[in-house]
Amino acid sequence: MQLCQARSLSEERLDLLTHCRADLDNVLRRSAREKEENVKYASEKLIAKLLPVLDSLDQAAKHDEGTKVLYAQLLGILSAEGLTTIDAVGKKFDPYQHEALFQVETGELEEGTVAEEIQKGYLFNSRVVRFSKVAVAKPLNAAKI
Amino acid sequence: MSKIIGIDLGTSNSAAAVLIGGRPTIIPSAEGTSIGGKAFPSYVAYTKEGQVLVGEPAKRQSVTNPEGTVQGIKRKMGTDYKVKVYGKEYSPEDVSAQILRKIKTDAETYLADTVDKAVITVPAYFNDNQRQATKDAGTIAGLEVVRIINEPTAAALAFGLDKVGEHKIMVFDLGGGTLDVTIMDIGEGVFEVRSTSGDTQLGGRDMDERLTNHVLDRFKQESGVDLRGDSMAMQRLREAVEVVKIELSSVLQTNLNLPYITADASGPKHLSMTLTRSKLEELIQDVMERCRGPMVQALKDSKLEKADIGKIILVGGPTRMPIVQEFVKSFMGKEIERGVDPMECVAMGAAIQAGVLGGEVKDLLLLDVTPLSLGIETLGAVTTKLIERNTTIPTRNSQVFTTAADNQTSVEVNVLQGERPLAKDNVSLGRFTLVGIPPAPRGIPQVEVTFDIDANGIIHVSAKDLATKKEQRITITAPHKLSRDEIDSKIKDAERFAADDLKRKEEIEVTNAADSLLYASAKMLKEAGDVATAEQKDKIEKAIGDLKNAQTGGDISDIKTKTESLQTSIYELSTAMYQKAAQEQQAQQGQSSQGAGSEPGQEQGSSDQTVDADYEVVNDKK
């Protein structure tokens, strides 16, 4: 009787131990993966924070030659790091790259195409760091459901 | 066997978590995390092309596809409502199943294993139909829902409230769009809801609106421009306002800067204003007031007084704001529980329940740690740490020590707890002595000291002479149950005195090094015999004398210099000795010289090593 109990207890313990060991292995494996990703995307947070500055410079560049140069300079450095703009206007709306703010009625563009870019979107090393904010085309006088 | 996951299926946002190593961990959403935290929006979109989108992507296209995008389906669970899109019909369970399916996929990716079972949370006021619908949604998604638990219960589990006796608790859940107040009995295996109350149209979104309107009005006043018609400006503004609102939870004021926000006939316009926490609190005063009613109602319905409530927990992003915390605290007249993120606690609590059901969590729920470092006292009355603070227990560590004086036949082990480098500044948990060490020159004996802390936090310290195998040990059962505050203040002390302590420790090390060197030098001189020239002998003896004087003098830098000069003169002698030994070896042709042997060269070599840091020195019993 005691032997039975002892045996089942020891089986329970072995099971728990195996689980713990497996957990540990998985965590180590995941840590290694995450560490690699962190290194690759280390600058992502900082770059995301700089995007509003890019926006402001972009706007300012419209009014001032000097700022235009400044904007190009900053954009150049960030591009070298892996920053690219997301293509929006004229492309088919893609919810994995664009965010639709509203629709515009137009006869010139196919339905579901990006008609206007409200805010530029960016990719950093092929990961979206900010989605493009766009207006999407819909046909004229679309029937209301 | 795969893990059971815990799911918080919310009206506005959903999240999932799982126990890893006994700790609840949020499962990341495949599309990345949003601004507030680790949850994703509870949006499901059916596109004209027959695609199904869930979460952030569904939200992003909602404006282009209002007929096909569904949000807040939780409000319809347990009803006959049907979602009609593009000629097809879906029940609320079907829609929720899409969300659960996405969670299942994310979890399987994260855990690199199949996931078939889940614990899902529901509001405390959900009736049987609503609970069954939630279970059915799981089944459709390919998940066996092994348990449905109440959201306030899950939150209480995450805070560990079920482990500290019996309590009556209040759960204040303020989310993006709803407020739910629940009063519960909890503890000793009991989780019973006494009453619930709330407001289904009150939340963080209202706060965002107040702040945005304020900024718009102020800007109009200052510049004459109304931004409400400018979609690009509004977009930038909304994003910036949300960031400001979150920032004001940790700072008292912050700047909102949006240069070139818009342009009119007179040129470009810039938005730049300072927003203070007090202004924000003023703006949302009416939102806070509306939180009072549900608390009053819930108490009334539970037939309890404020004083009867033992613990209060806050759930939901907006409860991170100081004003919300203050409001609840001052209404109830007691502190709120802290330590778990209010946006993650429901999912985490579900994961804990999942772990219990999965058999992961038996006796080893959460492992303890040692709050303060443990070590022993060594030569110079310094502390040598063997177990660092915050090490998870059970744990063990061993280190080999040696004697401080010739013919030392016993060592006293003084077990110390604390962070300071000097033994006298730490707490002595106990002492014991190991006797019967064979007489030997200092630095030769090997005494292995082992610290073994078991799962209950009991400390076993042993000292074993590796030569005789003689061992002595001590067991420390209740090492000073220090409160959190006491522990924190000890750690702060260590940091505060770190510079001073370091200086004093270095001084002790210099003194120790000087002592060791004097001992080794005297020994070497004796053993060198004729190898040392009269000149070398004089030089070394003078250096020894100088060092002894410096020691009496007590000037640390002087001791250091004299130690170095003695060391240099010794090196000359030892080099000469090695050269002689090498010559002797060459003279003995064909003889193996690999063994340790009794050649003078080897012996001197090992006596040199006693000066190294390899061996620490144990204090002699005085």
Token pair listed for A119: 């805010």
Asked if B577 and B600 count as a contact pair (C-beta separation under 8 A), the reply is yes
- Active-site residue flag, B8: yes
d(CA B60, CA B32): 14
Nearest by CB to B260, from A24, A29, A56: name it: A56
Residue B64, C-beta contacts closer than 8 angstroms, at least 6 positions apart? A93, A100, A103, A112, A136, A138
* Smallest Cα distance from A124 to chain B, Å: 14
- Predicted local confidence at residue B487, as pLDDT: 79
Name which of A16, A29, A60 is nearest B259 (Cβ-Cβ): A60
Going B345 to B346 to B348 to B349, the CA torsion angle's sign is positive
Residues 6+ apart with CB under 8 A from B371: B389, B390, B482, B487
Chain B residues touching A56 at Cβ < 8 A:
258-260
> What is the rounded distance in angstroms from the CA atom of residue B444 to the CA atom of residue B618?
12
Is the predicted pLDDT of residue B615 greater than 50, yes or no?
Answer: no
Tell me the helix, strand and coil percentages in chain B, rounded to 5.
Answer: 40, 25, 30
Query: What's the confidence (pLDDT) of residue B609?
Result: 30
Q: What is the DSSP string of B210-230?
A: HHHHHHHHHHHHHHS--GGG-
A93 close to B (CB below 8 A): yes
What pLDDT is stored for residue B21 in this prediction?
A: 78
Contacts of A35 (CB under 8 A, 6+ apart): none
CB < 8 Å to A20, chain B: 21
Residue B93 is a catalytic residue:
no
- Conformational region of residue B292, where left means phi above 0, alpha means psi within -120 to 50, and beta covers everything else: alpha
Instruction: List, for residues B359-377, the tens digit of each pLDDT value.
Output: 766 544 455 678 889 999 9
Residues 6+ apart with CB under 8 A from A96: A128, B31, B57
* B600 CB burial (10 A radius; 0-12, 13-18, 19+): middle
B48 alpha carbon, distance to own chain's centre: 47
CA–CA separation, A92 and B47 (whole Å): 14
Please report residues of A whose CB lies closer than 8 A to that of B110.
Answer: 30
Q: Say yes or no: B588 contacts chain A, CB-CB below 8 A.
A: no
pLDDT in tens, B206-224: 898 999 999 999 999 988 8
Q: DSSP of B525-573, one letter per residue?
A: HHHHGGGS-HHHHHHHHHHHHHHHHHHHHT-HHHHHHHHHHHHHHHHHH
> What's residue B594's pLDDT?
43
Highest mean pLDDT among B173-182, B491-500, B587-596: B173-182
CA–CA min distance B263, chain A (Å): 10
Q: Is pLDDT of B618 > 60?
A: no
- Predicted local distance difference test score (pLDDT) of residue B431: 92
Does position B612 have pLDDT exceeding 60, yes or no? no
Give dist(CA B207, CA B317) in Å, integer: 12
Q: Is the dihedral of CA B467, B469, B470, B474 positive or negative?
A: positive
Query: Which residues are bridge partners to B315 per DSSP?
Result: B173
Query: Rounded to an integer, what distance in angstroms lies between the CA atom of residue B84 and that of residue B106?
Result: 28
Token pair, residue B54, equals 């869930």
Of the residues B93, B136, B173, B180, only one is catalytic, namely B173
Q: With an 8 Å Cβ cutoff, is B60 touching chain A?
A: yes
Contact B364 A16 (CB under 8 A): yes
Q: Which of B201-205, B238-242, B271-275, B453-457 has the highest mean pLDDT?
A: B271-275
Q: Is B87 on the interface with A (CB under 8 A)?
A: no
Is A45 part of the contact surface with chain B (CB cutoff 8 Å)?
Answer: no
Q: Nearest residue of A to residue B243 by CA position? A: A49
A96 contacts in B (CB within 8 Å)? Answer: 31, 57
- The answer on pLDDT for B605 being more than 50 is no
pLDDT beneath 70, residues of chain A: 142-145
pLDDT (tens digit per residue) in B98-148:
999 999 999 999 888 899 999 999 998 899 899 999 999 999 999 999 999
Helix (H, G, I), strand (E, B), or coil: what is residue B392? strand
Give pLDDT tens digits for B174-197: 988 889 999 999 877 788 899 999
Give the closest residue to B30 by CA, choosing from A47, A124, A128. A128
Whole-angstrom distance, CA of residue B152 vs CA of residue B173:
8
The one catalytic residue in B151, B344, B419, B501 is: B151
B74 in catalytic set = yes
Q: Is B236 on the interface with A (CB under 8 A)?
A: yes
* DSSP state letter for A19: H
- Angstrom distance (rounded) from CA B410 to CA B346: 58
Helix (H) or strand (E) holding B412: strand B411-417
> Would you give the DSSP letter of residue B113?
S
Contact at CB, B232 and A119, closer than 8 angstroms: yes
Q: Would you place residue B331 in the very low, low, confident or very high pLDDT band (cuts 50, 70, 90)? A: very high
Residue B18's identity, in one-letter code, is: V
B173 catalytic? Reply is: yes
Residues of chain A positioned with their CB less than 8 A from the CB of B264? none
Which one is predicted more confidently, B617 or B52?
B52
Here the tokens at position A79 are 């591009």
Judge contact between B176 and B203, C-beta under 8 A: yes
How far off is chain B from A38, nearest CA to CA, in Å?
14
pLDDT at position B614: 29
Residue B291 one-letter amino acid:
C
Among B155-169, B507-521, B530-544, the least confident range: B530-544
Interchain pair A95, B61: CB under 8 A: yes
Question: pLDDT class for B611, splitting at 50, 70, 90?
Answer: very low
With beta carbons under 8 A apart, name residues in chain A contacting B236: 52, 55, 119
Which structure tokens are listed for A136? 């999407």
Which tokens go with B215? 């900024």
Rounded to the nearest angstrom, the minimum Cα separation between A118 and chain B is 5
Q: Which pLDDT does position B297 carry in this prediction?
A: 94
**Token reading at B425:** 């500044």
Confidence of residue B519 (pLDDT cuts 50, 70, 90): confident
Q: List pLDDT tens digits, range B7-59.
A: 999 988 899 999 987 789 999 888 765 555 678 989 999 998 889 999 999 98
Which band of pLDDT confidence, cut at 50, 70 and 90, is reported for residue B607? very low
Select from A26, A93, A118 the Cβ nearest to the Cβ of B64. A93
Q: Which residues of chain A neighbour B53 with C-beta distances below 8 Å?
A: 95
Instruction: Kindly report the backbone phi and psi dihedral angles of residue B140, in degrees, each rounded to the nearest multiple of 5, phi listed first.
Output: -60, -35
Q: For B458-472, write each residue's pLDDT tens digit.
A: 899 999 999 889 999
Instruction: Look at B64 and A55 and tell me if their CB atoms are within 8 Å.
Output: no
3-state secondary structure B233-298: HHHHHHHHHHHHHHHCCCCCEEEEEEEEEEEECCEEEEEEEEEEHHHHHHHCHHHHHCCHHHHHHH
Q: CA-to-CA distance for B76 and B72, rounded, in angstroms? A: 8
The answer to whether A27 contacts chain B (CB < 8 Å) is yes
Identify which of A52, A103, A119 has the shortest CB distance to residue B63.
A103
The residue that leads in pLDDT, B415 or A33, is B415
**Sign of the alpha-carbon torsion through B32, B37, B42, B45:** negative
Identify the DSSP state of B490.
H
DSSP β-bridge partners for residue B530: none
C-alpha to C-alpha distance for B28 and B30, rounded to whole angstroms: 6
Predicted local confidence at residue B383, as pLDDT: 92
What's residue B589's pLDDT?
A: 59
Beta-carbon contacts of B461 under 8 Å, excluding residues fewer than 6 positions away, are B376, B413, B415, B430, B432, B449, B450, B451, B452, B473, B474, B476
